Amino acid sequence: MPNNSGTVLGLFAGIGGLELGLKHSGFQPKMICELEEGAQAVLKHRFPEAPLIPDVRDIKEVPPGVKVITAGFPCQDLSSSGLKVGIKGEQSFLVDEVFRLLETTDELDWLILENVKFMLHLNKGNAMCYITSKLTSLGYNWAYRVVNSQGFGLPQRRHRVFIVASKKHDPRSVLLSDEHGIDPNKHTSTDEIPRGFYWTEGRYSTGMSFNGIPPLKAGSTIGIPSPPAILLPIGFAGTPEIRDAERLQGFPEEWTKPTESVCKPSHRWKLIGNSVSVPVAKWIGSRLISPLDYCDKNDIELKKNDKWPMAAWCMGGKIKKSSVSEWPIKKKFKGLDSFLKYPLKPLSIKASNGYLSRAEKGNLKHPVGFIDNLKKHVMEIS
């Protein structure tokens, strides 16, 4: 098995969530690739030891000594809030560059891919079919799992698909061997706890999250930052401060500050929304170092027209469904009521009234006291 001296080639690195998590586990970045200017500024500052290559197409082969490739390949074409054109969209097709590079090395121990959960369902799961079939054709065993960041001590309900593949090792021992299976935020309904929600929604969805926030997003389709709102039980609504937003992804405070040298400060929201939760990447890295045996006795074969489940694996060409949950480890939940360090930025009257108006026209259910508390917030700041 690879040891902690393994080196990493980080593709589509963003602000380095996967790379930082693996570094916490002992893996050192050898080369990082990222095209976006704001993210580049962060990577240059935070990983000065690793050469930065802007365009993945300029990497002709995997550098000698690389044992792990990470790739949080672009999700704009796969996201439920994006273009939904699928794996062959203008952005997401770049995953083909990962497969090209895989053919240039025999040294690799592990490949780690990450993307949005919606990828399992978009166009009947065509993206997953494409990716997994390519891995199989290249001789890789693989496993994937939907993981919720909320199970790692972060009060953010964030589902992402992680795929681990290897020619040499059993990927199930990394991604599927840990199982807690219990939502750390199980609760009794109450109006005495903060609730996160999407203030831009209200008619068809809310993103409502008990003592946490819905997933941080890159922003609106026209590029306007739209961090989720938090309604406190005292009748005050606001959005997180940028340093708390970084912490909600597991980064140190001011991790994205270097981007302000080339972009507007608001660009930091996009970078954070696009990133990978660091504690999840750290967990994966720890299992690369210390894998555990996986018991597959209850797993069943996935048939041709079955929907992609929350977790599955393929060893030797046969795909099976795993029964593991989105909660791999036991981690005490820390809610917004104890997590936030900085004052919320008050949600504007316009934004608050916009949500209330849409909620009134829609038929979505809201927690007891939620609408009244949001109206109280409007009255207090008027």
3-state secondary structure of 253: coil
pLDDT mean over 339-356: 97
Are 198 and 212 contacting, i.e. CB atoms less than 8 angstroms apart? no
Q: SS3 breakdown of the chain: % helix, strand, coil, rounded to 5?
A: 30, 20, 50
For residue 11, which of 27, 42, 35 has the smallest C-alpha distance? 35
pLDDT mean over 182-194: 76
- Give catalytic status of residue 75 as yes or no: yes
For the segment 112-130, what is each residue's pLDDT rounded down to a tens digit?
999 999 889 888 888 899 9
pLDDT for residue 89: 44
pLDDT for residue 186: 73
pLDDT for residue 91: 45
pLDDT mean over 194-216: 94
Biggest CA-to-CA distance, the chain: 65
Phi then psi for residue 91, to 5 deg, are -95, -50
Q: Which of 33, 75, 263, 314 is catalytic?
A: 75
pLDDT for residue 220: 53
pLDDT for residue 305: 86
CA–CA separation, 29 and 51 (whole Å): 9
pLDDT for residue 1: 43
CA–CA separation, 74 and 11 (whole Å): 10
pLDDT mean over 40-46: 98
> How much is the mean pLDDT over the chain?
91
Please give the model's pTM, rounded to 2 decimal places: 0.93
Whether the pLDDT of residue 226 is over 80: the answer is no
Domains along the chain with CATH numbers:
7-183+275-321 (3.40.50.150), 195-252+335-381 (no CATH)
pLDDT mean over 188-213: 88
Report CA 203 to chain centroid distance, whole Å: 26
Whether the pLDDT of residue 281 is over 90: the answer is yes
pLDDT for residue 123: 83
For the segment 301-335, what is each residue's pLDDT rounded down to a tens digit?
999 889 999 999 999 889 999 999 999 999 988 99
For the segment 118-172, what is each residue's pLDDT rounded down to a tens digit?
889 888 888 899 999 999 999 999 999 999 999 999 999 999 999 999 999 999 9
Whether the pLDDT of residue 106 is over 50: the answer is yes
Whether the pLDDT of residue 349 is over 60: the answer is yes
Which segments of 141-250 are extended strands (E)?
141-148, 159-166, 195-197, 209-210, 229-232, 236-239
pLDDT for residue 84: 45
CA–CA separation, 212 and 230 (whole Å): 8
pLDDT mean over 344-365: 95
CA–CA separation, 28 and 84 (whole Å): 35
